[in-house]
Each structure stands twice: as C-alpha cells, then as structure tokens.
Structure 1
Amino acid sequence: MTMTSTHPKPIAYQPPADKAGTDADYDQIVEDLSAASVHRNFDPYVHIAWDAPEMAIVPGDERWILDPEVDPVGKHPWYRALPVDKQIQIGMWRQANVAKVGLQFESILIRGLLQYASKLPNGDKRFRYVTHESKEECNHTLMFQEMVNRVGIDVPGMPRPLRLLDPIVPLFSTIFPTVFFFGVLAGEEPIDHLQKDFLRAGANVHPVMAAVMELHVAEEARHISFAHHHLRQTVPTRTLPTRMVLSLVMPVAMRVLCSAIARPPAAFRKEFDVPSDVFKEMFWKSRDSQKFLSDVFGDVRMLAEQCGLMNPVSRRVWKALGIDGRASRYRSEPAYEAH
C-alpha cells in the first residue's frame, strides 16, 4: 500500500458567516457543507503514512508522555512524579483509549445520522450532507482503530454502562432529533477541543497521534458547523414549553457525554493503581480540571444563547454541573483568548 505523506495537510473548512435564520440561508449553508465534503475530504489510508519509519511505535518513546499543559491526567502532580517509563505506559493507554472512545462514539453517530437521513423527505438538502458526514465518520472509525491496533493495547473505550446503551442512542435521531444533535455536540466538542489544544500548544506528541488529530480536526469542523447551524435553525421553531425542557436537557447531555469521553473508565484506575482521591482530582475536583471542563463548552454555551436555551433556570443547571462560564465570542475561540 502506498502512503502519500506522514501527516495530512488539511485545509480546515471555514464555515460561512453565521446567519440568523431564513430557510434560504440554511439551505445554502447545507449545500456549502456538502460541497466541502466532496472537495476537502481525507482518507486515513492515503493521507497518513502508517508504515513510514518515523511512524513506528517503539518502547520507551517519551513522546507518549501526556502533555502537562493540556491533558487533565498529564497536569496532575501524581502523574508527573511517576518514573518516565510509567508515564509513557499511562500516556499510551490513555491516548489509545481516547481513540477507542472516538471510534465508539462515531459508530453511534453514523447509525443515528443514517437513520435520520432515511426519514427525510425527497429533495431535502440535509440528506446529502448527513450522508457525506456518515461516510467521513466511517473513515474516522478506521483511523481510530488503526491507531489502537498499532499502539497494541487492549483498551475498552467508553465506560461499560454507555457501551450497553450503544444500540439505543441512535434511535434518538428520529424520535428526539434535537436531543440527538445535543449528543452529537456533547461527543464531538470535547475531543475537538482537546485535539485543538494539543495542536495549538505544539505539544511533542508521537507522529501517529499528530497525524490522527490533524485529519480529525480538519473534518470535524464541518460536522460541528452543521450541528450548530441545524440547532439554530430548528430549536427556535419549538414551542415555549419544549424549549424550556430542551434548555435543561442540553447541559445534562453535555456533562454526561463529556465525562464518558474525557474521563478514563474504571479499567484505567485498576491497571495503573490510581488512588481514588487522585482520580477525583483529575476528573473534576482540581482547579485545572474544572477549568478544562468549563472551557470545553464555551462554544456550546454560545450556541445555547443563540438558540434561546439560556434562561435563569438552565443557567443554574450549567453551574451545578460545573460547565458554566463565559460563552465563546466565535466558534473555536481559544481558551487563552477568552480569559
């Protein structure tokens, strides 16, 4: 198999300027996103040179040590005090597990999107876009599993209760589509935020990890853009009581799925004998971890305000769940600019 490069050289899609609300504007945005899916897409077996010498995964590679500026585990004094070989083992396990969680989440998303598409009327422009997105997410599952296989650690991914709910969640795409798209963002935003932070910080990560992050971030820009535009278009059309319920469901969905993705499962604690109090500080008792949890959802808080889902009651729910804070001024605003 021929590989064309060590890293993809993606041009991140820049969505159209946010427009409030006409059907014509929304249709044009969906068309633009569909066109971008055709002209700016990536294949992990073309754009990542998995078999290049510099991509080899070898014992003792310190580039697997978790970044102390970005990763909640890497920031904790307990982790930083460990011997280097132990930091490497934990870093490989954690990053492989995040990839496995990404695969599992994308699998749920693909099934939900295809079910959602199957119920759309003929001529609906969303059919083409969500089918394009499903195809791209299939490539992401291939990419994540390839990374897990090459790291060579049998990681479980999501916590077991969420894995058991796997067959049920896609049903929300047609029964409660708004809640389904909340779930889309709740799964995509934490991974996207973490990967962008790594790339912005210039963290010294292994080339396999860097290549996976670059490709994923480039295409997730479209997927997140569609979810934002879709919710801004559809939520304001709901009745006032429905919007009130949605305003309370939104932060709960964000918090639950963020923990499922960002926090390692119980197997992590058992594998590395992580003290219970240390794990609680990492997720989410320490000041650094609380800031991370808040920063992850700056874009979603902005969206909630744009959709009319921020009200005195819902703000209390965001705060009680530890995910309140300043809303982003624009999508993907870096946390250091917001403070």
Structure 2
Amino acid sequence: MTTLTETAVRRDALGLLKDREQVARRLLESSARHSFDPDRELDWDAPFEPGKWFWPPELVSLYGTPMWHRMSEEQRIALSQHEAAALASLGIWFEVILIQLLVRHIYDKDATSDHVRYALTEIEDECRHSKMFARLIKRGDTPYYPVNRRHHGLGRLFKTVSTTPGSFTATLLGEEILDWMQRLTFPDERVQPLVRGVTRIHVVEEARHVRYAREELRRQMVTAPRWSQEFTRLTSGEFARVFSEAFINPQVYTDVGLDRRQAVAQVKASGHRREVMQTGAKRLTDFLDDIGVLRGAGRAMWRSSGLLA
C-alpha cells in the first residue's frame, strides 16, 4: 500500500522533473547570448606585463608562510605563474572527466529534450575551456602539470562507477572552488590581462554549468534510490579528498627553486591556506548540506579533505 508520505514524495519528484526542461531552456537562451570564442576574444600575442601576477598573491599556496616572507617578489610572481599553470592543468583533467560523465548522463535520455541539448552545449563549452587552458599554459612557457598517477587512476575509476548524483556532486566540487578563485582574479588589476581574460570567460560560462548541475543534483537526491544517495555521499567525500590534494602540484615548488618538502609542509600548516580553501568551498558545502549529501561517513571524509570546517 502506498503511504501518504510516499505519494507526496512522488508528486514532488514529478514537479522537479518537469522543472528540468524549463531550467534547460533558460540555460540554452543564456548560452546563445553569452558564449565566447577564446581564440578570437583574447589577445594571445600581447607580451606579459612586467611585475604583474598570474594569480592573486593571496590565493598562491605559500602566501603568508615563513617561506613566502623569505622569497623575492620575482620568485613569488614566478610561483604564481606556475600555480596558475598547475590549476589550468587540473582544470583540463577535470573537464575531460566531466565531459565523459555528461555523455554517460544523456546516453539513455531523449535526445530531442532541452535537457540533453543543454548537456551537449555544456560539452562544447568544456572543450573550448580545455583548449583555452592548454593554450594559456603553452603561452606562459610553463610545464603542463598532470595529476599524479594515483589521482589519475582514481579519476578513471570514478568516471566508470559514478552514479548520476555522484557525477553532478563531483562536477560542482570541481567547478565551484575554482570559480570562486577566478571571480577574485578577473577584476584584479594586479593580474596579467591574459589571465584575467581567461578567467572572465570561464566564470561567465561556468555559471550556467553550476546552475545545471545544482538543479539536476537537487532532483537526483529526491528521485534516486536510497542506495544511490548513500553511494553519492561516500564517493563525493572521497573525491573531495582527492581534489583537495590535487589542487596544488608539488612540482611547482621545485620548478621555481624551492625545497619541495618544506613548501608542502608549510602549506599544510598554513591557517591562511586552510581558510582560503574552506571559504572557496563554503557555498558548495552549504548547498550539499541542504540537499542531504553531507551526512554520515561522507561528511567525515569532507572534513578530512580540509574543505569543510
């Protein structure tokens, strides 16, 4: 026998699914108005301006540490350039995973729906973003910084076994922290104009991606089976730990002439860095808490990642 509670839940679920198409239509309209071609929009040939940063200094991992105070201004700026390249490299890795997750999400859905049309539009955006990040790395003459072998393997496993709500939770994790940092970067006149241009394009287009993922995840946490919801809580906690570790590639310290072990230790001990990461994640963790993702063992894993206070 169906209880009144079950009937109410099903009614709410149907309402959420109906809203899916309305959200997708609005996002498609926004995409038509505010999409960019980085190859045309940005001046890739302009020289970098002397003395300008490649990432706001307050967001550089060593900011405020004893090692930071001993570094020259030139070395600090060099570190900001290498960290910007490492974040662009991380962004490419993550967006390649996201593209695969989106393709899996729409595989068995009505290809004529606006929801699927927007997913395909987002895939187009992510392809452009990955090419834009790669061009920025190459333009700065810095190395490409791939994630380590363990994280690369975990990424391969995650994109294979992830459920739909798990995929959208990971999407938000990868997008919202970097988005918060980029929102501080593109208006910052201390930062190189090319970097500001790249982050501006990414922020504008990622705002749609975040809306799409949030709305779908909210629906999924109502409609998905209980086992899928529990699995999402655990996998998102593990991915939070992976992502927080991968956010800085230790090779950047070696490449600018710093002692890697000492630098890593000081970043781990830095209260400022911990506050930056938790502040960047707060909008996301508040949302995940509200829709029931941050519960049980998964919540403990989020705490251990350093992204949840």
Q: TM-score range by the shorter chain?
A: 0.7 to 0.9
- Give the counterpart of 2:305 among 321, 327, 331: 321
The residue number in structure 1 matching 2:5 is none
Q: Does 1:36 align with 2:30?
A: yes
Structure 2 matches for 1:214-233, cutoff 5 A? 214-233=200-219
Name 1:104's counterpart in structure 2.
Answer: 93
The aligned residue for residue 252 of structure 1 is: 238
TM-score w.r.t. the length of structure 2 is: 0.85
Q: Deviations over 1:23-66 (max 9, x none)?
A: 22222011111221122101101211222xxx3137xx221365
**In the alignment, which residue of structure 1 is the partner of 2:21?**
27
1:303 equivalent in structure 2: 287
Deviation, structure 1 residue 178: 1.8
State the Cα RMSD in Å: 2.5
Structure number with the higher helix fraction is 2
Q: What does residue 115 of structure 1 align with?
A: 104
Change (3 A) 1:313 1:105: closer
The one-letter amino acid of 1:270's match is T
TM-superposed CA distance for 1:168, in Å, is 4.6
* Alpha-carbon distance in 1 for matches of 2:299, 2:130: 35
Equivalent pairs, count: 295
Amino acid at match of 1:322: G
Matched, 1:188 2:179: no
The answer (yes or no) to whether the contact 1:64–1:88 under 8 Å persists in 2 is: yes
| 8 Å CA contact 1:65, 1:87 repeated in 2 | no
**1:107, 1:91 → 2: CA distance?**
24
Partner of 2:6: none
Q: Deviations over 1:251-305 (max 9, x none)?
A: 3322321331x212x42233333352431231x3221111122112212222223
Q: Are 1:147 and 2:136 counterparts?
A: yes
Asked whether the equivalents of residues 80 and 87 of structure 1 are also in contact (C-alpha less than 8 Å), the reply is: no
Contact 1:110 1:137 in 2 (8 A): yes
**8 Å contact kept, 2:86–2:248:** no
Q: What whole-Å deviation, never above 9, does each CA across 1:152-203 have from its counterpart, x for those lacking one?
A: 122323223333455554434xx52222222212211221121112246x25
Q: 2:163 matched to which residue of 1?
A: 176
Distance 1:75 1:137, change over 3 A: farther
| Cα deviations by residue, 1:293-318 (Å, 9 ceiling, x for unpaired) | 21122122222233222446544443
Distance 1:289 1:321 in 2: 13
Asked if 1:72 is matched to 2:61, the reply is: yes
1:64 partner SS: coil
CA distance in 2, matches of 1:314, 1:167: 20
SS at match of 2:146: coil
Report the counterpart of residue 225 of structure 2 in structure 1: 239
Deviates more, 1:188-197 or 1:84-93: 84-93
Work out whether residues 115 and 170 of structure 1, in 8 Å CA contact, stay in contact via their aligned partners in 2. no
Question: Using the alignment, how far apart are the partners of 2:35 and 2:150 within structure 1?
Answer: 34
Aligned-residue identity in percent: 22
What residue in structure 2 maps to residue 47 of structure 1?
41
1:223 CA drift (Å): 0.6
Does 1:57 find its partner at 2:48? yes
Task: Tell me the residue number matched to 1:263.
Answer: 248
Gaps of 5+ in 2: 1-13
| Residue 334 of structure 1: aligned partner | none
Task: Give the distance between the partners of 2:111 and 2:186, measured in 1 at CA.
Answer: 41
How far did 1:148 drift? 0.9
Separation of aligned partners in 1, 2:24 and 2:56: 37
Unaligned ranges ≥5, structure 1: 1-19, 326-339
TM-score, normalisation: structure 1: 0.78
> Higher RCO, 1 or 2 (CA under 8 Å, sep at least 6)?
2
CA distance in 1 between counterparts of 2:73 and 2:24 reads 48
